[in-house]
Amino acid sequence: MSARFIVLEGIDGAGTTTQTARLVEALRARGEGAHGTREPSDGPVGRHLREILTGRVKVSASSEVQRAAHMALLFAADRLDHLGSEIQPRLRAGDWVVSDRYDHSSVAYQSVTSGEAGAVAWLRELNRHADRPHLTIVLDVSADVARARRLARSGVRELFDDDELQRKLATFYRELDRYFPSEPIVHLDADRDVDAVAHDVFAAALAS
């Protein structure tokens, strides 16, 4: 099969990181070249973003709108670097690329945190030079299940680990098709067992 660019999306605790790794493993077992990646990326802007998300670096902003815009600009810059340095070269080499998050996360998180009615249109325009995935798989998970998973895992609490925010984001992701109407998007029930979800993720990727 020809190379595909597959994106996994969902709220924190949906399982995007686990399912990205599982899909790459399944593709390789099938004999395909496959590369797993993530956003924020491991590039210079992505590393800076991770320091913000973990609270090591503070964003100076006088309002939530300014903070969301600041983050959106950083994510967009990281995305273009990610594409040029990692995603596009891998696709040209014939590998499948599976990304744990992409610009759908920017549209979801920055529009919800800003609270501005026109935020989605601005965020889409900000990312208009970002290549489109062949398929986006949304792992829809209930906010309560996602919260339990976040509490169970070890690690530093991140910027967006707020229960009410995650509930709003869960609703946004369930309606993601409204904001990306021309793109192939598949929704999967991620409240289920990891293996059952991985089976359906693999099937959806092969059908893309």
Cβ-Cβ contacts under 8 Å for 106 (sequence gap 6 or more): 72, 75, 76, 79, 123, 126, 127
CA dihedral for 41, 46, 50, 52, sign (positive or negative): negative
Architecture of domain 5-206: 3-Layer(aba) Sandwich (3.40)
**pTM for the structure as a whole:** 0.92
pLDDT of residue 38: 98
Beta-bridge partner residues of 188: 139
Per-residue pLDDT of the chain (208 residues; tens, 9 = 90+): 689 999 999 999 999 999 999 999 999 999 999 999 999 999 999 999 999 988 888 887 768 888 888 999 999 999 999 999 999 999 999 999 999 999 999 999 999 988 887 899 999 999 999 999 999 999 999 988 988 888 887 666 666 667 888 899 999 999 999 999 999 999 999 999 999 999 999 999 999 9
pLDDT of residue 88: 98
Beta-bridge partner residues of 135: 6
Q: Are 103 and 127 in contact (CB under 8 A)?
A: yes
* Boundaries of every domain in the chain: 5-206
pLDDT of residue 2: 85
In the structure encoding, which two tokens stand for residue 8, read together?
């996994």
pLDDT of residue 170: 93
pLDDT of residue 79: 98
Q: Three-state SS string across the chain, please?
A: CCCCEEEEECCCCCCHHHHHHHHHHHHHHCCCCEEEEECCCCCHHHHHHHHHHCCCCCCCCCCHHHHHHHHHHHHHHHHHHHHHHHHHHHHHCCCEEEEECCHHHHHHHHHHHHCCCCHHHHHHHHCCCCCCCCEEEEEECCHHHHHHHHHHCCCCCCCCCCHHHHHHHHHHHHCHHHHCCCCCEEEEECCCCHHHHHHHHHHHHHCC
pLDDT of residue 155: 65
The span from the CA of 120 to the CA of 116, in Å, is 8
pLDDT of residue 132: 98
pLDDT of residue 7: 98
